[in-house]
Amino acid sequence: MGSLMSCLSDPIPSGNRSPPPQPKRRSSTSSRGRGGGGRDSAKASVSIDEEALTAAAALVLGQRGASGGLGAFERSASVRYAAKRQSQGPPLPRSCSTRPRSLADPELQPQQLLAKDLNTKDLETNVIVLVHGGGFGAWCWYKTISLLEDSGFKVNAIDLTGSGIHHYDTNKISSLSEYAEPLTSYLKGLGDAEKVILVAHDLGGACVSYAMEMFPSRVAKAVFLCAAMLANGNSALDMFQKQMDTNGTLQKAQEFVYSNGKDRPPTAINIDRASLRDLLFNQSPSKDVSLASVSMRPIPFAPVLEKLVLTAENYGSVRRFYVETTEDNTIPLPLQQSMCGANPPEKVLRLKGADHAPFFSKPQALHKTLVEIATMPHVRAS
């Protein structure tokens, strides 16, 4: 360490400089051998030592600036001697201190790269309202909220009745209108000229469809994210019944709650905690699965049973988009495609590798998709 520090210290002024001591030559076992072979090995050892000292001195002198300070490091040996290195084997990668900066480097945040030239003030609306699915709450959107706000959007994540931190007892919810009341109250409070983009997940699709029918002039676009996008006269139960016919995953995971007695219809549905990962979060990070396991609440049963009344004049006047999730075990891709076929949206987009919780498993891809939808201009029919 002392030798290294002396090499990096400021040079002694030329007037007081004394001749440097001659370096001692390192002995080696080969130099002690007898005969011509021993002498040749000793010469080789001395030559290597001298080359090493010369290279070290050149490196230190090359790094000194005119003022005596240390300059920038030179490019790594793997770059300066690339040709020699290639003859010995595969080339080494250039060090991050010398190679040109790439998009993979974290100088810019990912959300800045996705929407760096976006001016949300030029859009029809820059307000996005996130509506969670059954059992979830506003908490599930934490990644999406951050990404959208960093891109310039105004974001509201709503807790439906009896969900998230909403204090109401889930078992007492008796209708879809009661379940969706926080959403409809928000839309009712908007000004006459104000519009928002609604993003629905899972059972939240039924709530958003209900809100579109009630307040079509307040909704610029509706995005159904692996959600229940139901046709007129259908219920969420009709959709989930088709899923049960496809595989038994959902049926095995659900636990009915009978708060009014076993002789009365169920009041809520619980998801078995042991089945959460396989059913909802099969592609999501473990930390988000842990968050969900302590945050999810029962799903009210009455809204699942209720059949929607939707009209072309109201619900049909709002632009709709559907976002498919390819690794979804709750609403499998064929069922999502079936809903789109029965009730076609303006456009269908897809998140590859996403499970039923894309806000956990594919947050960046979801963000990019939502920005794409938000900036999509209206195409007038010819």
User: Which positions are annotated as active-site residues?
Assistant: 202, 328, 356
Say which residue the tokens 């003030």 belong to.
Answer: 121
